[in-house]
Structures are given as C-alpha cells and as structure tokens.
Chain A
Amino acid sequence: MSTGEEGHMAVAERGTRKRRVGTKNGGKSKKKKLKTRPPSSDRFKLTMKDKKIFQKRARDYNSDEDDEDESTKPPEVTIREKIFSDANMGPNYDEIEDEEGSDPEDNSDGEDHGEIQSGITRFATDGCNAFRTAFKAIMKKTKGDDTLGPVLSAHKHLIAQKLAEEEAEKKAKGQARKAKHLVAEKGHVKPASYLDSHEKILIGVATKGVVKLFNAVNKAQHAQKGLNASRSKDAKVLKKRRKEAFFSELGKTSKTDSKAQNSSNSHEDEAPAWAPLRDNYMLANPKLKDWDKKQETSEGDDFAAMSGDESYED
C-alpha cells in the first residue's frame, strides 16, 4: 500500500508539476501511461469501451494546457513565420495561420496517444490538409516580375549592383536636366536689388525724356486753351497758332540738333511741328482723306476678289 501510495504521490507530484510548468509532450505521454496503467486490466477493458470519452477528456484536459504550451512553442512558430515571410506570404499568411492553429494540438494528441494510433490518422487527414493548403498558397504566389527572386541573400551583390546602376542613372539624368535648364535660363538675370546706380541713371534719362515731353505738351496745349477744335472759327485760330508754333520750332531745331544728345527727345519736340501740319492737312482736305480711303478700299476689293476666286476654285 505504502508503495502504492508512494506511487500515487509521485503521480500526483508529477501531475502538479506538469500542470504548473507545462512539460513537453514526451512527459505528458509518460504521465498518461502511468495514469492508465496502475488500474487493473478489467478496468482497462472497461475504459477501452469508453475510450472515446477518455480521449475527449484528455483532449479537453490538454487543450487547457495548450495555451500554456504555446509559450514553450513560440520558437517553432517564429521559424515558420520566418519561412513564410521569406516566401513573401504576406496577405495569405493569416489564413494559413488559422488553419495551422489547430495543428499543434493535433500533433500533441497524436504523440499523446502514440499506441492508439488515432492521432496519426488525424494528422494524416487534418494536418496534411493544412500543410497542403499552405503549400498551395505558397505555390500560388506569383513573384515572376522580380528578377532577383525570393531568396534575397543569394542576390546580395546583384541588389547592390542594381542600386548603384540606378543611382548612376539618376545622377546622369539630373545632370542632363541641369545642363538643359542652364541653357534655357542663359541670360536670365534676377535683379538682386531694385535700384543700383545703372538703373538710377537709366531712370534719370527716362525721366528727363518724360519731363521734356510733358512740358512740350503743356506749352502746346496751354496756347489752345479755351478753343474748341470742332468750331470752325476756333479751328482757324488753332491752325494759325499751330503754324506759328511749327515755324518757331523749325527755328529752334537747328540748335537742338547741334546739341542732339537725345535724338528721341528732339524727335518728340519736332513731332508736333510736323504732326499738326499733317493732321490739319488730313482733316481739312476731304479730298485727301477720301483718296486714302479709296486706296484702302481698292486694296480690300482686290483681296475680296482674290478670296472669292479661291472659294470658287474650291
């Protein structure tokens, strides 16, 4: 009895230990054997009948433990993960994991009931299926485009080479673009500061020109103030005054020409002298005006005739 007790105790100890620590499958199976053997043979026969119930119980019992067991197993899982990740199993991985999830359990069961052989059959059916799906999923993956292939380490130097090539290409492209841009932007200067000395001189020249023109305008228009060009009486007076102004300008021009620093300005000064004459001539002489018109209309007619001919040819 004492030995029996001791054995029981040992069993209990082992059981507790196992429950606490979560031993490996081998230990589990040993325990199971111990647990099942001590009872007499008739009892065992009885259990043979209820084998399935026991199995179920055992499975339930183990399934509790499996959560703990998983903590011991991770290395295996990680290895698998690694394999999958190497094979670029990205999107399908979860699915396969789910299928695989039931796998470890079955495996352990199979080992547990090594003598019974039921586990092996389970493995043959279920586990094989999972493996098949996983394998299929891997094979389904199309990675044809990648010239380097899925095994990266084998092509390390190839990658480096390709990267270097790309870099060189990019550099060359960039340089070409830069050169093109330089050619395109040749001569384009962005003024750094608004007024440098040269610009000031230019503005001074321009201002002088404007002032000259405005003064001339003032002088010319001051004379004809209060006179309406549309009235014939005023028009006569205007004409007279402009003529006077013109001749006075003519007298002056010789002096200004001798100065003649700003040809444009002198031109602007002279322009009124010429323009009013021309202006009056055109306005006063309707014949001339008509002549101008006629010429243009005749031109237009020619053009029209030409276009008409063309249209008919078409």
Chain B
Amino acid sequence: MARFKNNKKGRVAVKPIVKKNQGNVDHVTGDKIPKSFVFSRMKLPGSVKQLQMDLRKLMLPYTALSLKEKKRNTLRDFLNVSGPMGVTHFLMLSKTASALSLRVARTPQGPTLTFKIHQYSLASDIAQSQLRPRCPQDLFKTPPLIVLSGFGTQELHLKLATIMFQNIFPSIDINTVKLSTCQRLVLLNYNKDTKLIDFRHYSIRLQPVGVSRRIRKFVQNHQVPDLRNLQDVSDFVTKAGYGSESEGDEEAATVTLSSDLGRVNRSSTKSAVKLQEIGPRMTMQLVKVEEGLCSGGIIFSEYENVDEKNAKSNHEEDGDDSEEGEEGDNSEEEGEEDGEDMDEDLED
C-alpha cells in the first residue's frame, strides 16, 4: 500500500515535464513546434565540427545549442531524451574517409534521409567572403522560413524530403504571423540535372523603396549627418547622391507591408526585400531514405537507382559499401510510399 502511495507521489513530481510538453505547442496557432538535435556520434575534424555548430545555430531557437555528446552515447540515448524534451527531429553528421554525410531523421519512428554533402562552406567562410557581414542581435531568436524550390517533380523520395524539411521548422500561420519575426530564410534548391540540393541560409532585410540612401541611413543610424559640403539643409534631402545600382532593377523584390516593421519600414509603403547570406552553405545529394530511425527497410537508394535507370547524371560513385547488399523489399516500399502520400495530403 505504501508503495502504491509513493507511486502516486512520483507521479506528482514528474508533472512539470508534462507542462513542458505543453510548451511545445505554439500558443497562437496551437501547432506543435518541432524541435531538433544536431549531433554526431563520432569524433569530427575541426571544420566539420564547426559545420555542426553552424547547423545548430541555424536550427535555433528550438534546438539544443550546447548539446554535449560523448563517445559512448548511442542513438538510443538521444532517443530516450528526445521523448520528454519534445524533440522531433535529429540531424546527424558523420564523416568517413570518403565522404561527409548528413542524416535527417524524424523521431521516434523515422523516416531517415541520408544526404551526402559534396561541398560545404562554414558561416565564417561566408562572412569572410563578404564585405559587410550582417548579424543583427536577434537574428537567431526566431525560427527561419524555409523555401523549397525545384522539388515539385513527381518522384516520391523528393516529396518525402519536401515534407521532412517543411516540418523541421515551425509552420507559419499567415493570419497571425508578425513579419518582424521573419528574419532568416533557409533555401533548398533542387537541381534536376545534377540531382544536387543547394542548401543556403540567408538573412532577410527590408528596405524602403524610393527613399534616397542618405535619408535612409540618417533614419537608421541615429547619427548626425555630415553637412560640411552642403550649402543648404535642403540639399541633404534633394541631392540624389550615388544610388545603389541594384536598387532599380528589383521590381519583383518589393512588397507592401501591412504593418510597421522597425523604424524605417512603415505600413502601406513599398519595401524591398534584401537577402544576405549567412552560412553555412552546403551542396548535398539525397542518397538514401530509410523507413525507420537509421534502420529499417530502404525506401530509396540513389546508387541502386542509378544502376537501374541509367540516369543521365554522371555522379562518380564513391563506394558507400554499407549500401550494397541491402536490396529493397519492394512491397514494403510501396506501402511506405502510400503512407507518405497520405501524410502529404494531410499536410496540404
């Protein structure tokens, strides 16, 4: 009896976790907020480790920024933690002598997408290549938007990838979203010919259109302008100065705002959308789709397909030996694909 009582007590003690679980739900829309872990289960070389850190920053704010992995941590450990923490996605980096790969998995059941990273650049590399790298304070306080482009073909593994990436970030409700929270953008661009996916990460900036650069700067910077060379104050307003050459040509990149956004962008004025890259940058290829979480039947494998269809792309096949000998269970594949289709229908 006493034991039973204690059991009840234990139940009470754990309640905070339950409350936390409710925190996983967006308080405006009521949607479940996806959370993610970015980790690796092996010792990574320095640059890849940096890439992992960049990916974590990209996944902010709903990710574990300072997640510590140990060598003896198995996937099951992360899975066990993910339940109470409400983590829905795993991003796993792994490095072999031949290739660097990123696995994106949904917890706890899967599926798992394995991408081979052909090329990557770190956020610091991107910042170094830029004249004026931009990083406002609260850039990483809101989740990024995601733009998927070129995935619209009828191939099912691409559809699955689309769904996966759409769900990895919180969905946007157009009726309630504040544009000031749209600070970042993740772009995934699928190239049909090379079968490569370009992964880019941009910061979004809005600038009023039709205002001279001087006045814009004056409003933005809170600084006393340099009027030494001017005869009259009116010159400051009327003189055109040198305009940015990219200002005129971007007619398509203008939006009309419904509400004020910052000091500069007022409602019902036109603003230009400017994107500036903040790394990381990756060029990757979808090589494998697994049914479960890093296990289970293989729904799709790039290298088998290449053999069968004799695709026009000329990838050099760096031997991923692990994939040989896992020839598909076709019946399972079909069933799974159907399931995915249904998922997508729900999604839309």
- A-B residue pairs in contact (CB < 8 Å), sample of 7: A188-B120, A202-B198, A221-B174, A221-B175, A272-B175, A296-B21, A300-B14
Stretch at the interface among B67-75, B142-150, B287-295: B142-150
Task: Evaluate contact between B46 and A184: CB separation under 8 angstroms.
Answer: yes
Chain B residues contacting A308 (CB-CB under 8 Å) are: 6-7, 10-11
Contact of A53 with B by CB under 8 A = no
Stretch at the interface among A33-41, A56-64, A102-110, A262-270: A262-270
Stretch at the interface among B33-41, B126-134, B223-231, B325-333: B126-134
Interface residues of B (CB under 8 A from A): 3, 6-7, 10-11, 13-15, 17-18, 21-22, 28-31, 45-48, 83-84, 95, 97, 99-100, 117-122, 125-126, 128-131, 145-152, 162, 166, 171-177, 179, 182, 185, 187-189, 198, 200, 202, 204, 250, 252-259, 273, 275, 277, 281, 347-348
A270–B79 Cα distance when bound, in Å, is 33
Chain A residues contacting B198 (CB-CB under 8 Å) are: 198, 202
Chain A residues contacting B21 (CB-CB under 8 Å) are: 296, 299-300
Which A-chain residue is minimally distant from B49 (CB atoms)? A184
Chain B residues contacting A222 (CB-CB under 8 Å) are: 258
A285 to chain B, nearest CB (A): 11
Task: Evaluate contact between A261 and B152: CB separation under 8 angstroms.
Answer: yes
Q: A184-B46, A187-B117, A217-B177 are in contact. Are A271 and B172 (CB under 8 A)?
A: yes
Chain B residues contacting A187 (CB-CB under 8 Å) are: 99-100, 117-120
Task: Evaluate contact between A183 and B200: CB separation under 8 angstroms.
Answer: no
Contact of A116 with B by CB under 8 A = no
A94 to chain B, nearest CB (A): 52
Task: Evaluate contact between A218 and B258: CB separation under 8 angstroms.
Answer: yes
Contact of A209 with B by CB under 8 A = yes
Contact of A203 with B by CB under 8 A = yes
Task: Evaluate contact between A213 and B119: CB separation under 8 angstroms.
Answer: no
Which B-chain residue is minimally distant from A259 (CB atoms)? B152
A184–B43 Cα distance when bound, in Å, is 11
Task: Evaluate contact between A184 and B174: CB separation under 8 angstroms.
Answer: no
The interface size of chain A toward B, counting residues with CB under 8 Å, comes to: 70
Task: Evaluate contact between B121 and A189: CB separation under 8 angstroms.
Answer: yes
The residue from B128, B173, B185, B257 contacting A209, defined by CB atoms under 8 A apart:
B185
Q: A184-B46, A185-B45, A206-B187 are in contact. Are A303 and B17 (CB under 8 A)?
A: yes
Task: Evaluate contact between A185 and B47: CB separation under 8 angstroms.
Answer: yes
A202–B256 Cα distance when bound, in Å, is 23
B247 to chain A, nearest CB (A): 14
Contact of A305 with B by CB under 8 A = yes
Q: A187-B117, A263-B152 are in contact. Are A272 and B174 (CB under 8 A)?
A: yes
Task: Evaluate contact between A279 and B30: CB separation under 8 angstroms.
Answer: yes
Chain A residues contacting B100 (CB-CB under 8 Å) are: 186-187
Chain B residues contacting A272 (CB-CB under 8 Å) are: 173-175
> Main SS of the interface on chain A?
helix
Q: Please provide the chain A residues from 229 to 255 with a CB less than 8 Å away from any CB of chain B in the complex.
A: 229, 238, 242
Task: Evaluate contact between A271 and B171: CB separation under 8 angstroms.
Answer: yes
Task: Evaluate contact between A190 and B125: CB separation under 8 angstroms.
Answer: yes
Task: Evaluate contact between B151 and A311: CB separation under 8 angstroms.
Answer: no
A192–B99 Cα distance when bound, in Å, is 23
The residue from B11, B22, B131, B347 contacting A194, defined by CB atoms under 8 A apart:
B131
A231–B14 Cα distance when bound, in Å, is 36
Q: Give 6 closest A-B pairs by Cβ, nearest first.
A: A184-B45, A308-B10, A264-B148, A209-B147, A272-B174, A300-B18
Task: Evaluate contact between B97 and A183: CB separation under 8 angstroms.
Answer: yes
Which A-chain residue is minimally distant from B30 (CB atoms)? A282
- Name, among B188, B253, B258, the residue most crowded by chain A CB atoms within 10 Å (CB to CB): B258
Chain A residues contacting B118 (CB-CB under 8 Å) are: 187
Task: Evaluate contact between B275 and A210: CB separation under 8 angstroms.
Answer: yes
Task: Evaluate contact between A307 and B14: CB separation under 8 angstroms.
Answer: yes
Q: Please provide the chain A residues from 207 to 228 with a CB less than 8 Å away from any CB of chain B in the complex.
A: 207-211, 213-218, 220-222, 224-225
A210–B95 Cα distance when bound, in Å, is 34
Task: Evaluate contact between A191 and B30: CB separation under 8 angstroms.
Answer: no
Contact of A173 with B by CB under 8 A = no
Chain A residues contacting B204 (CB-CB under 8 Å) are: 210
Chain A residues contacting B275 (CB-CB under 8 Å) are: 203, 206-207, 210
B156 to chain A, nearest CB (A): 13
Q: A185-B45, A220-B175, A304-B10 are in contact. Are A214 and B148 (CB under 8 A)?
A: no
Q: A189-B119, A210-B185, A214-B273 are in contact. Are A297 and B200 (CB under 8 A)?
A: no
Contact of A193 with B by CB under 8 A = yes
A145–B51 Cα distance when bound, in Å, is 48
Chain A residues contacting B347 (CB-CB under 8 Å) are: 267
Contact of A51 with B by CB under 8 A = no
The residue from A193, A206, A213 contacting B200, defined by CB atoms under 8 A apart:
A206
